[in-house]
Structure 1
């Protein structure tokens, strides 16, 4: 039999053993609890870090909205009206809109001056192109898009005939354009000098840099092709303000033009239009107009370009002598041959290219004193970087200077803040990953100092 002391020792051993088991069980429960909570915290932290990285990255690198402005210019010419839509960054460059043409719409019908007796049709006349502008320009930009109408030769002539009629046409045009959701800025008749100056602006911006009537009824005209014939009413000669002062009484009401196609005679007839007998300055072009020394490059656009383009004379490699020879050859071609070669061109325009080309050459050589050497500095230009070379873009550039520049759009965060946040959240992810690996692969090392 055990004595009392032995029983106590055995009981003590059992108690110690039970305590150890309970302690180990408690430690295991604590480790399990802590592991689950730490893993949950680490998982949550990882998710937050990933979301933060994605949010910062996407916010910083998302495409900024296109901060642009639009403008509309209507070129109301003598034969037709064209609508041009321009676009430029709202921030501008050197306080001038960096404008480029995005759309051109030719209004169906003649020029607005021809509507003087039917002004009630002007609104319908402009509808198609103005509706096209609605489609091209975003709706949100409509109210802040300026609209300008500049009337040229046709309206200048109408105003010379009757200022009241010209104002009547412009008033109806203004009322019609004011009905659209754009910021209409008015309609005006621009002078010939303005038209030329705005064209000069356009080109430099985009580059970054007639015959005497005989006392019978036949007029033999050297500026028309051989075989060309046309019956003309005498009264038609004096319908315009430019010719009205030369009106005379003739013994016939009609006469027939017969072309003879002689470039040299045509050239001499054209030169009679240029008065070079008087010059109050050191050097003049013609009609007493001062002509500075020819220097640099010159852009010939609008009618200069279209005529010379038709004649295939716009190449800078074609010398002045070659251009003159080609004009002589073209003018001497029979009218029937010309009609066959250019079947798709209206006869009214086709018949006038000999005169137009001769006039341009005479103006440039004898009017503006270009020589064979300086001819190479003339560039016949139709479009530059997708925009038409003409006065309308220069007009827009001049007028956009009155529109204040806007502050450029910037990214949401500065570069340094963006880099700091990206690094911070990346470190959080790396730390979480390391701790997670330690817990799963070396639990004893992680828990040895926790109990």
Structure 2
């Protein structure tokens, strides 16, 4: 028994000091590992959301955007996450029944309510921007326009989002934000690259926007917009032509053809064999043509097609005014336009029409494009209907005109040549986001939304380094103390020597 007690006393690992040092050492190691893991764990990314309703002349679409709560060069990195096309026509069509304008938005709004995380509902801004359709309605009947907006407001305020209002965008805003969208999605703004021009074609208006080295805004200040994005300044030329969207341009064309109030119109922009009876009152109920309605015209006229591209081009040319220009350069209708520069993205109706006609490949020579369109327009109407059984007849009847109008607008209106035509790229989406003004609008608005404080590690960097250093030194000292039982042996060995 005395022998066991003697061995235990001689074993240094059984001393109280050693046990204490071991416990403290284990605690220090655990603390060091814990601090390192907690400090360096991945931080959860916060996201914000925004909803924009594009109330166009022919339809309304809802877009949901998402971006990190922290900002990049004071501009949120916005991405489209969801879209919803509202059933029915544009809200301007509900002038006589405003409540239906608000009701039409309900289904898409309910989908948005499910898509955006519920904890973000109250802080998600909701905007409605109306374009040329509501511009025209406001010109004709401002009271009806206000009633439509009131109905829309009441409908949207029933949802748990942060409603920010509904308003009519100016044509200049529509064009400028479309330009921002195209260049943002191509990451040209972030990288400071040469920008791309934007060509937007809707039902009631069309916009052209681009940066030109030869334009400083002095010759036509009303067409100048300045942006600061990602630390860079941009002086943008932009102009919107109201009544020159494809639907209203079609009315302008028919108005020219019915100036004398005929009973029948043989239209080279419609397919051979096409025939329909149309009302003068319906044709001329738009402010774009209402002042041109011929006196003493019959109630209806018989609209037939002949399908001749060359003659169609001549008719389309009449909707433009190329004679008046008080500036150094003009597009049409006496509007200033600097010399075209760089590439262009053409979207909205540009894309949908040219895609239907299989003419989106701009590497194909312009003359070859015209030949293909010529053959399409000359195709009999019955054959066209058979080839596209699912297409709505109203749209199907206008593709010949729309294709001809687009080529005339680009080449004669905006001055693209057979050489520069290849600088145009017809686009629907860029990196999953729809091309259009809504993303640019949302991107611009993120500069006015305060950024949330980002998540930081629990400890500041200096504090983290200090704590790790102290624990490391402590562990080292404890390690030295753990070797204490060996110290006498080392000293005795030295004495023997």
Tell me the TM-score normalized by structure 2.
0.77
Asked if 1:399 is matched to 2:445, the reply is yes
Are the aligned partners of 1:438 and 1:446 in contact in 2 as well (CA < 8 Å)? no
Identify the match of residue 191 of structure 1 among 159, 164, 170: 170
Structure 2 counterparts to residues 274-353 of structure 1, below 5 A: 274-353=320-399
Q: Which whole-Å CA distance do the structure 1 matches of 2:328 and 2:299 have between them?
A: 46
Farther off after superposition, 46-55 or 222-231: 46-55
The 8 Å contact of residues 113 and 121 in structure 2, kept in 1 or not, is answered as: yes
CA 1:147–1:29: 2 relative to 1, 3 Å: same
Using the TM superposition, give the Cα deviation of residue 407 of structure 1 relative to its aligned residue in structure 2, in angstroms: 4.3
Partner of 1:9: none
Deviation at 1:96? 2.0
Q: 1:28: Cα distance to partner?
A: 4.0
Instruction: Measure the CA separation in 1 of the matches of 2:318 and 2:424.
Output: 24
- Cα distance between partner residues in 1 of 2:451 and 2:375: 54
Rounded to whole Å, the distance in 2 between the matches of 1:192 and 1:106 is 22
| 1:322-348 deviation digits (Å, cap 9, x = unpaired) | 222221122112222222222222111
What SS class does the counterpart of residue 283 from structure 2 fall into? helix
Match of 2:283 among 237, 252, 256: 237
Q: d(CA) in 2 for partners of 1:34 and 1:69?
A: 59
Give the equivalent residue in structure 2 for 1:130. Answer: 109
Name the counterpart of 1:119.
98
- Of stretches 276-285 and 39-48 in structure 1, the one that deviates more from structure 2 is 39-48
Cα gap change, 1:119 to 1:40, in 2 (>3 Å): farther
Instruction: State the distance in 2 between where 1:137 and 1:445 align.
Output: 72
Distance 2:271 2:73 in 1: 51
Q: Which moved more, 1:411-420 or 1:189-198?
A: 411-420
Instruction: Flag the structure with larger Rg.
Output: 1
Does the aligned pair in 1 maintain the 2:102–2:153 contact within 8 Å? no
SS state of the match for residue 288, structure 1?
coil
Greater percentage in strand: 2
Residue in structure 2 matching 1:165, options 129, 144, 163: 144
Counterpart for residue 412 of structure 1: 458
The equivalent residue for 1:156 is 135
Partner residue, 2:239: none
Once the two structures are superposed, the pairs formed by residues 70-81 of structure 1 within 5 Å of their partners are: 70-81=49-60
> Judging changes above 3 Å, is the alpha-carbon distance between structure 1 residues 123 and 445 closer, same or farther for their aligned structure 2 residues?
farther
1:96 aligned to 2:75?
yes
Change in Cα spacing, 1:134 to 1:37, as seen in structure 2 (3 Å) is farther
Q: Structure 1 residue 388 and structure 2 residue 367: aligned? A: no
- Give the structure 1 partner of residue 181 of structure 2: 202
Find the partner of 2:161 among 179, 182, 201.
Answer: 182
Equivalences for residues 419-430 of structure 1 within 5 A = none
**Partner in structure 2 of residue 12 of structure 1:** none
Equivalent-residue separation in structure 2 for 1:61 and 1:135 (angstroms): 34
The question of 1:226 aligning with 2:205 is answered no
> Does 2:38 align with 1:59?
yes
Cα gap change, 1:301/1:25 in structure 2, threshold over 3 Å: closer, same or farther?
closer
1:363 Cα deviation after fit = 0.6
CA-based RMSD:
3.0
In structure 1, what is the equivalent of residue 304 of structure 2?
258
Higher helix share: 1
Deviates more, 1:410-419 or 1:48-57: 410-419
Corresponding position of 2:218: none
CA contact (8 A) 1:227 1:259 kept: yes
Contact between 1:226 and 1:259, CA under 8 Å: does it hold in 2? yes
Shift of 1:318: 1.9
Q: CA deviation at 1:430?
A: 7.7
Aligned to 2:200: none
Q: How many residues align?
A: 426
Alpha-carbon distance between aligned partners in 2 of 1:122 and 1:294, rounded to the nearest angstrom = 40
Contact 1:148/1:187 (CA < 8 Å) preserved in 2? yes
Provide the rounded CA distance (Å) in 2 between the counterparts of 1:89 and 1:130: 23
User: How many Å separate the matches in 2 of 1:251 and 1:273?
Assistant: 21
Describe the SS at the equivalent of 2:276.
strand
Please give the secondary structure, in 2, of the residue aligned with 1:86: strand
The match for 1:356 is 402
5+ residue gaps in structure 2?
Answer: 189-194, 196-252
Cα offset, 1:34, TM superposition:
6.0
Question: Is structure 2 residue 153 aligned with structure 1 residue 107?
Answer: no
**Structure 1 range deviating more: 268-277 or 148-157:** 148-157
Q: Which runs of 5+ in 1 are unaligned?
A: 1-20
Distance 1:33 1:431 in 2: 18
Task: Report Cα offsets for 1:90-109 as digits up to 9, x if no partner.
Answer: 22223222211111011222
Query: Is contact 2:48-2:67 (8 Å) kept?
Result: yes
Structure 1 residue 427 displacement after superposition: 7.2
Could you say which residue in structure 2 is the equivalent of 1:15? Answer: none
Higher mean alpha-carbon deviation, 176-185 vs 415-424, is at: 415-424
Q: How many angstroms does 1:46 deviate by?
A: 4.9
